[in-house]
Amino acid sequence: MKKLNKLKDLKLMANTIRQDIITSLAEAKSGHSAGPLGMVEVFTALYFNVLKHNSKKPEWDQRDRVVLSNGHICPVLYVALANAGYFPKKELMTLRKLGTRLQGHPHREALPGLETTSGPLGSGLSQAAGMAYALKLDGKKNKVFCLTSDGEHDEGNLWEAVLFAAKHKLDNLVVVMDRNYIQIDGSTEDIMPLDPLDKKYLAFNWNVITINGNNLKQVIKTLQESRKNQKKPLMIIANTIPGKGVSFMENDYTWHGKPPKPEEAVKALKELENEKKRILSGKA
């Protein structure tokens, strides 16, 4: 897959990824909708513009590492990988089915392009930090991009990793937090208040940037610049809209862990097709 440089092409890719997420989740009849849709811009920016990677050589030593810590949003990762050429797109229709390489939560050994196995929350950041530590030890320039969620910040393991990354000044580690304010049982601030996350990370000796995680231009610029991050690990707090792109899913926490029914999928795809037309006509 060639790198996309034009914003319009990247927006079209984001639209394709959203449609593929809806289609595969509807086919699977189970899985998470809100998180994957909210993180489409981040995954589009990474896999089609920012990352050093080669879908034909998934084990290429010089590649950047992507660690998905909140494994349940894997539909967006699978769809991004398929569109980037890691495996045939038709395989997206096997999501969560018996014998699939697209397990309900990602399994590293099952599918090319996956760096870790994940699902149980709070452990991805420490694995990413371990990778970043090893890269520095060996004097290598590859970056480690770790994707985490806000709800995941309830986990103690995650904060252990925050301390570790700061201690070792892992500036080759870039973390993007999906700050969508929802988790399974409701609002993150009702369940276990996390704000102010930016100040918490600053106090833990991290570099912190807060962005609109659904503004593709801003996401790309921030991730491109993150390659020059220095002295401290970098936390990018990406404010996102859960269910972004599908009007009846946006900002509704009940869509955290369920897929669209067939009629809902039709409605969602229609909305996304209309969005595609707007992108093509230059109106979006």
Partner 1 sequence: MKRKEFCLEKLKGFNKTLGLKCNSKKIPTRNGYGDALVELGKKNKNIMVLCADLVESTRVDQFQKKFPKRFVEIGVAEQNLVTVASGLAAMGKIPFASSYAMFCPGRCWEQIRTTICYNNQNVKIIGAHAGVSVGPDGATHQALEDIAIMRTLPNMIVVVPADYEQTKKATIALAKYKGPCYMRFAREKTPQFTTKKTPFQIGKAQVLKNGGDVCIIAAGPVVYECLVAAENLQKKGISATVINSHTIKPLDEKTILTAVKKCKCVITVEEAQIIGGLGGAVAELLSEKCPIKLKRIGVKDHFGESGSPEELLKKFGFDANSIYKEILKFC
The least CB distance from residue 143 to partner 1, in Å, is 13
Asked if 59 interacts with partner 1 (CB under 8 A), we say: no
The least CB distance from residue 78 to partner 1, in Å, is 17
Q: How many residues sit close enough to partner 1 to count as binding (CB under 8 A)?
A: 31
Asked if 126 interacts with partner 1 (CB under 8 A), we say: yes
Asked if 107 interacts with partner 1 (CB under 8 A), we say: yes
The least CB distance from residue 102 to partner 1, in Å, is 16
| Of 43, 17, 7, 41, residue with least CA distance to 213 | 41
Work out which of 134, 184, 266, 284 binds partner 1, going by CB under 8 A: 134
Work out which of 118, 149, 172, 183 binds partner 1, going by CB under 8 A: 118
Asked if 108 interacts with partner 1 (CB under 8 A), we say: yes
CB closer to partner 1, 136 vs 276: 136
CB closer to partner 1, 83 vs 127: 127
Work out which of 30, 56, 97, 120 binds partner 1, going by CB under 8 A: 120
Asked if 139 interacts with partner 1 (CB under 8 A), we say: no
- Assign 3-class secondary structure to the chain: CCCCCCHHHHHHHHHHHHHHHHHHHHHHCCCCCHHHHHCHHHHHHHHHHHCCCCCCCCCCCCCCEEEECCHHHHHHHHHHHHHCCCCCHHHHHHCCCCCCCCCCCCCCCCCCCCCCCCCCCCCHHHHHHHHHHHHHHCCCCCCEEEEEECHHHHCHHHHHHHHHHHHCCCCCEEEEEEECCEECCEEHHHHCCCCCHHHHHHHCCCEEEEEECCCHHHHHHHHHHHCCCCCCCEEEEEECCCCCCCCCCCCCHHHCCCCCCHHHHHHHHHHHHHHHHHHHCCCC
CB closer to partner 1, 164 vs 204: 164
The least CB distance from residue 86 to partner 1, in Å, is 18
The least CB distance from residue 110 to partner 1, in Å, is 10
Asked if 85 interacts with partner 1 (CB under 8 A), we say: no
For residue 233, give both structure tokens. Answer: 């690990």
Cα(211)–Cα(172) distance, integer angstroms: 20
User: What is the per-residue binding string for partner 1 in 147-176, x denoting contact by CB under 8 A?
Assistant: ---------xx--xx-xx------------
The residues that touch partner 1, with contacts defined as CB under 8 A, are 65, 67, 107-109, 115-120, 122-123, 126-135, 137-138, 156-157, 160-161, 163-164
